[in-house]
Amino acid sequence: MKTNTLTTGFNPALLSSLVVTYVGAIYLLGIALLLNNDWRFNIAGVILTVHGLVLSAYLIHELLHDNIFKQRNLNRLFGKLFTHMNGACYAPYDD
């Protein structure tokens, strides 16, 4: 029985890289919009920053299990980065 999934036929490494890039770009764009003086940009900045933080929190779990990249060092690098974004002082990545 053939399984139909959203990622069938796609390169998993490319998808992982796109997800990590998307989360980083959304987070940085959100922070940039928060620094603007216009309240409309601030609202968009809050929404994008929260969106980036929620996605990075989900990715931390997958990075801890080494499910995103084949190389363990890349999982560890981005896991530490995303954990820092979400408050590494409360729960470091290595715990």
Residue with tokens 């940085």: 28
Using a 10 angstrom Cβ sphere, with 0-12 exposed, 13-18 middle and 19 or more buried, the burial of residue 35 is: exposed
> Tokens for 59?
């990715």
How far, in Å, CA of 44 to CA of 18, rounded? 22
pLDDT one-digit tens code per residue, 65-88:
988 888 999 999 999 999 988 887
Helices (H) and strands (E) counted in the chain, each on its own, are: 3, 0
How much is the pTM? 0.80
How far, in Å, CA of 70 to CA of 31, rounded? 30
pLDDT one-digit tens code per residue, 3-55:
556 656 778 788 888 999 999 999 999 999 999 999 999 999 999 999 999 99
